[in-house]
Amino acid sequence: MFRQWFKLIALLIALVPWPAHALLTIEITGGSEAALPIAIVPFGVEGYAPPENISDIVSNDLASSGRFAPLEKRDLISEPHEGQQVNFQDWRLLRSEGLLIGKISSQDGENYQVQFQLYDVYKAEQLVGKRYNVPASGLRNLAHQISDIVYETLTGEKGVFSTRLAFVSEMKNADGSKRFALQVSDADGANPRTVLQSTQPILSPNWSPDGQQLTYVTFENNKAEVYVQQLSSGRRNSVASFRGLNSAPAWSPDGKKLALTLSKNGNPEIYVLELASGNLSRVTHNSQAIDTEAVWLPNGREILFTSDRGGRPQIYRVNADGGRAERVTFEGSYNASADISPDGRNMAMVHAVNGKFHIAIQDLQTGAVQVLTETTADESPSFAPNGRMILYATEQQGRGVLAAVSVDGRIKQRLGESGSAVREPAWSPFRQ
């Protein structure tokens, strides 16, 4: 087991040239023994050298998922770039089940033609092959798309490599004051771009179902208020700035409503805001308790939320049009920050054991709870859109970092970076 783990790390170090512009990088801190061996041959280059190394990005993507074990480069017997150059017997000897080859060419250094072919080595047949024309700036995205195609072809599940992450960074100025940025990066942490910067904290980013907008909480007016921001234009609107708290926004599955926490009537309660009309309807009615952190079930009819109405924070379920709330969590004295898997079957949450905060998953049918993490200051779980991984915030030597864990707890990733503390992650939906 340890040897495999060591091998995986060695292999990652050998294979993955971490791009200098990446804010976040992925490390595997635990591996899956069932990882599928795959040979990824460095793509052939004709004409101008491309600014991105596509085969390295694909290899990094697939390895980081924990479901693939790319062969080490030095073990590659030959370097075919086209189908007729492939000798399947060679690759069978290496016990590689999949083989990815391709080439990239450019006459002007601006536009690139990229093609790839994925083979089943044992059947000696092509599974998929495609050709693209992209500008230099589109090469990295294309590499992630190729990773998605390889992942889906070989596992039968959609890949999440071309999705995005939103998160909040905290940076210290020279005078000790802080500044905060809401950032969006590729799913591998590369290409972080700042979509909002403020001298005040930013909280709880949440994606619209179409992936075009973010809602979040800012303190820029010295109190918690909810904004909605269009990512392409940067245009944003304050959607809730009532007296008291305006917080914890969560987009409904149809994209038309936000569930959110307002304390305008004196106590934090869950409300539903219809975005087009501005109509507000109150969902919870418990004037003694904190009700917050609403999240929608995929059916769009029910909401889970955190409440301390039983004395300590636990997760409850309520109809989005109101009514009686029923308790969902019973294990442990602290359960909060629920997120729902895309199929609606599982709930991720922050679950305290002996005062340590871990990420746990609960089967919503059976109620069975499994603690997934050993880290102890975990916050803000967010499911990947294919439901495979859970992204969350934790601490490393007192500094905020992002990490991810597979829903079975076997694969653990850490997205390290330098300079700033990061937290409040939200995994985007699939690109549409």
Partner 1 sequence: MKLFKLFAIILPLFALAACSSSPDKGMQEGDVLVEDRGAESAGVDGQGADGEDMGAEAKVVVGEDQYAGNELNDPDSPLSNRTVYFEYDSDVVRNEDQQTLQAHAAYLAENPNLTVRLEGHTDERGSREYNLALGERRALSVRRILMLQGASIDQFQVTSFGEERPAEEGGDEYAWSQNRRVELVYVGR
Chain positions contacting partner 1, by CB under 8 A: 173, 179, 193-201, 203-204, 218-224, 229-230, 232-238, 244-245, 247-248, 261, 263, 266, 268, 290, 292-293, 306, 308, 312-313, 334, 336-337, 350, 352, 355, 357, 377, 379-380, 395, 398, 424
- Shortest separation between residue 286's beta carbon and partner 1, angstroms: 12
Q: At what angle do helices 2-15 and 54-64 cross, to 10 degrees?
A: 160
Cβ proximity to partner 1: between 92 and 399 the closer is 399
Conformation bin of residue 421: beta by default, left when phi > 0, alpha when psi is -120 to 50: beta
Whether 150 and 62 have beta carbons less than 8 Å apart is answered as: yes
- Shortest separation between residue 234's beta carbon and partner 1, angstroms: 1
**What CA–CA distances, in Å, run from 411 to 141, 352, 426?**
24, 21, 19
Cβ proximity to partner 1: between 137 and 199 the closer is 199
Long-range (24+ apart) CB contacts under 8 A made by 106-111 are 106/46, 106/47, 106/48, 106/50, 106/136, 107/47, 107/48, 108/48, 109/47, 109/48, 109/136, 110/135, 110/136, 111/135, 111/136
Q: Which of 384, 378, 380 is nearest to 427 (CA)?
A: 384
Cβ proximity to partner 1: between 237 and 370 the closer is 237
- Shortest separation between residue 229's beta carbon and partner 1, angstroms: 7
Cβ proximity to partner 1: between 28 and 202 the closer is 202
- Shortest separation between residue 388's beta carbon and partner 1, angstroms: 24
- Shortest separation between residue 84's beta carbon and partner 1, angstroms: 46
Cβ proximity to partner 1: between 232 and 277 the closer is 232
- Looking at the chain, how many residues does it have? 432
- Shortest separation between residue 306's beta carbon and partner 1, angstroms: 6
Q: How far apart are CA 317 and CA 305, in angstroms?
A: 6
Cβ proximity to partner 1: between 26 and 245 the closer is 245
Q: Which of 377, 388, 371 is nearest to 430 (CA)?
A: 388
Whether 126 and 86 have beta carbons less than 8 Å apart is answered as: no
- Shortest separation between residue 196's beta carbon and partner 1, angstroms: 6
- Shortest separation between residue 260's beta carbon and partner 1, angstroms: 10
Cβ proximity to partner 1: between 86 and 372 the closer is 372
Q: 226: how many CB neighbours lie within 10 A of its CB?
A: 27
**What CA–CA distances, in Å, run from 118 to 40, 86, 127, 150, 153?**
9, 11, 6, 7, 9
Q: Which DSSP letter does residue 396 get?
A: E
First to last CA, the chain: 40
Cβ proximity to partner 1: between 28 and 290 the closer is 290
E strands along 53-97, which residues?
A: 68-70
Cβ proximity to partner 1: between 356 and 431 the closer is 356
- Shortest separation between residue 329's beta carbon and partner 1, angstroms: 13
- Shortest separation between residue 266's beta carbon and partner 1, angstroms: 8
How far does CA 314 lie from the centroid of its chain? Answer: 25
- Shortest separation between residue 291's beta carbon and partner 1, angstroms: 8
Q: How far apart are CA 15 and CA 22, in angstroms?
A: 16
Cβ proximity to partner 1: between 97 and 339 the closer is 339
Cβ proximity to partner 1: between 232 and 365 the closer is 232
Whether 239 and 227 have beta carbons less than 8 Å apart is answered as: yes
